[in-house]
Amino acid sequence: MMRFAPIVVALVAGSGAGRAEWKRLPSLSDKEGFATPFAGVSNGALLVAGGANFPDKKPWFGGKKVWYDGVFVLEKADGEWKNAGKLPRALAYGVSVTHRDGVVCAGGSDATQHYADCFRLEWKAGKLVTTQLPALPKPVANACGALVGDTLYVAGGQEKPDSKEALQAVYTLDLGDAKAKWREEEKMPGAGRILAAGASFEGKFWIAGGAELVADKDGNVARRYLKDAAFHEPTKGWGRCLPLPHAVVGAPSPAPSDKTGFYILGGDDGSQLIVPFNRHKGFSKKVLRFDAKTRDWVEAGELSAPRVTVPLVVWDGAWVIPSGEMRPGVRSPEVWREESTVKGKR
């Protein structure tokens, strides 16, 4: 168990977004923290499951990445994390959303392969209950997703660890229909991509940024950072919106929203791609908001503790970022909650 001292850090936002304050909640009971665990809320409790890190040596010293199957639960914001149980297998880099009283987890990877698994985690009477859901049409990791009504979107990603191109595929599953199966939607516009930000806003699914995979003549794969954005309306298909002011990869996803728009919280903007990992200064602090009125992107402040490759969870009406990467290869067990959503200021 890990105790904590409350820490409040200001995020000064502009352009009508108000003032946001992030409070540090109890840290996960893991000294390293995790990249892209599954996370969500079940029956009032915050669940964080799986993820990956470098427990022994950092990657620039030849450290080996390890995937995990542990599930942690925090029943109260001022409580302590407990071990809740285990996933069906060690898994990370999937998509997770809160639906009704459970956390729906789709796709992901381990050290050897990508998976099409989909399942629901529920915290019931002090026990973890896992229910299998229909598997995705194909394995996928590093995708993004969001919940639009009862419909779960999973977009982009990679089918295999050694894929030389990212997927343009978009899949949907009606979680309100017990007999529903995954449906393949029209492919997303633009390039296939990994590590984009997904969002639910105005009854539509939005996708922004991410990285395209580009192979050279020798088969070596590089990432091309993207800043385009688009939305999918269930009855009308895809539409385009203005591109982001700069590239964004790996920002917390699903991206949060309020009445004024939805927010891209930091991410990797590509400005340090040639910087050695051990000299990286941390990811972008910039917060961008897609403005509902102007239909354009506006700067909306800076983060004091930016994280990437991490899900964003809405818990008791507040935005929560549980763990994630603070620099390439370096995770953090810290958990942060955005206080102005708690206080009803948004």
**Which residue ranges form the domains of the chain, and what is each CATH number?**
7-342 (2.120.10.80)
Pull the structure tokens for residue 276.
């050695």
- The predicted pLDDT at position 12 comes to 37
Average pLDDT of each block of 10 consecutive residues along the chain (346 residues)? 35 42 94 98 98 94 96 97 98 98 98 98 97 98 98 98 97 97 98 98 98 92 97 96 98 96 97 88 96 97 95 96 96 92 54
Instruction: Check residue 279 and give its pLDDT.
Output: 87
Q: What residues contact residue 7 under an 8 Å CB cut-off, 6+ apart?
A: 23, 24
Phi-psi region of 317 (alpha: psi -120 to 50; beta: other; left: phi over 0): left
| Nearest CA-CA partner of 38 in 66, 72, 12 | 72
Q: Residue 139: what are its φ and ψ, rounded to 5°?
A: -60, 145
Predicted pLDDT of residue 339: 79
- The two structure tokens encoding residue 237: 């298909």
In whole angstroms, what is the distance from residue 186 CA to residue 170 CA? 7
Q: Are 104 and 182 in contact (CB under 8 A)?
A: no
pTM: 0.93
Number of Cβ atoms within 10 Å of the Cβ of 275: 12
How far, in Å, CA of 210 to CA of 224, rounded?
9
Q: How many helices (H) and strands (E) does the chain have?
A: 1, 31
Whole-number pLDDT of residue 346: 53
Nearest to 115 by CA among 83, 69, 84, 149: 69
